[in-house]
Amino acid sequence: MMGATGCTLVFGGARSGKSAYAEQLAIASGKEVVYIATARAGDGEMAVRIAHHQRQRPAAWTTVEEPLALAGALRQWRAPGRLVLVDCLTLWLSNLMFADGTDYPDVGEIALPERFHAERAALLDVLAGAGGAAGGSAGEIVLVSNEVGMGIVPYGAISRAFTDEAGRLNQAVAAVCSRAVFVAAGLPLVLKGAPC
């Protein structure tokens, strides 16, 4: 059971069980759940993955699709007696990096769009207000994110920039959340905060 934790980051690698674990936390909370989906169905495979996740969710959950303005969605949907589950931060990051159709260079420094910086700052402001135990009285937030920096260094400037930004985002979110849980092979390891 979550208790009044305010904000929890659940992160791990691809197919680590992080989304399933975050959903278990939401169910165990006994609260009304709002699920904010950040994914966009850019191709057939992603559409299949999205449909699979939709079928797995309880019918009573409210689903909100918000690929870009995550801070605004959290402000709108967070409320006492409610848990907002965001899945996932790394898809949101990717959406922001490519929102304006920028053609990034293969080598050299990557300058990210101004909207990326504004949305990231807005998200961290919302989460900073939700991070402590007192923040939980206004509703809880559970965020899912990928840990993409544990493998080989990716090829190409944009891939490295994405990996770097995902790592920075996870660090910043973990710093303001009251709990951070790493999931590997379906097993949760609480790195910060009270046990779940």
**DSSP secondary structure letters along 6-61:** -EEEEEESTTSSHHHHHHHHHHHHTSEEEEEE-----SHHHHHHHHHHHHHS-TTS
Q: What is the pLDDT along the chain (196 residues), one digit of tens a residue?
A: 344 458 999 999 999 999 999 999 999 999 999 999 998 777 788 778 778 877 888 889 999 999 999 999 999 999 999 999 999 999 999 999 988 887 887 777 888 889 999 999 999 999 998 654 445 568 899 999 999 988 777 788 888 999 999 999 999 999 999 999 999 999 999 999 988 7
**Which amino acids are annotated catalytic?**
53
d(CA 22, CA 9): 9
Residues 6 or more apart whose CB falls under 8 angstroms from that of 56 comprise: 20, 23
Number of Cβ within a 10 Å radius of residue 90? 22
**10 and 143 Cβ atoms separated by less than 8 Å:** yes
Number of Cβ within a 10 Å radius of residue 44? 8
Cis peptide before 88 (omega within 30 of 0): yes
Beta bridge partners of 179: 8
What pLDDT score was predicted for residue 105? 76
What pLDDT score was predicted for residue 2? 42
What pLDDT score was predicted for residue 153? 74
d(CA 165, CA 160): 9
What is the enclosing helix (H) or strand (E) of 123? helix 114-130
Q: Which domains does the chain have, with CATH numbers?
A: 7-192 (3.40.50.300)
Instruction: Note the pTM of the prediction, 2 decimals.
Output: 0.90
Tell which residue, 12, 5, 3, has the closest CA to residue 146.
12
